[in-house]
Amino acid sequence: MLHPSHFASVVVFAICASVVFGITQRETPRRMVRYGIYCFVLFVGSAVALSWAMYLIAR
């Protein structure tokens, strides 16, 4: 049984989802890569930002 950390789970999820979003939502390879990276940064960035927000609210 696999027990990844919360952050590892977020990163793996973001990589897989970003690859699919990039390929399916854009038409040229260059734009696919750019959109994939954009989605990845948004996925991980929003998870980190929300985590800090919840941490600060809980204190």
Partner 1 sequence: MVATENKTVAVAPEAQSGFVYLPLIAGWLVPGAGHFLLRKWGRGALLAVSILGMFVLGIAMQGKVYANAHDILAMLGLAGDLGNGLLYVVSRMMGLGADTVQVTTADYGTRFIVVAGLLNVISAVDAHNLRTGRKI
Q: By CB under 8 A, name the binding residues for partner 1.
A: 1-4, 6, 9, 12-13, 15-17, 19-21, 23-24, 27-28
Contact in structure between 22 and 36 (CB atoms under 8 Å):
yes
Q: How far apart are CB 57 and partner 1 at their closest, in Å?
A: 20
Q: How far apart are CB 20 and partner 1 at their closest, in Å?
A: 4
The percent of the chain in helix, strand and coil, each rounded to the nearest 5, is 85, 0, 15
Q: How many CB atoms are closer than 10 A to CB 38?
A: 14
Q: How far apart are CB 25 and partner 1 at their closest, in Å?
A: 8
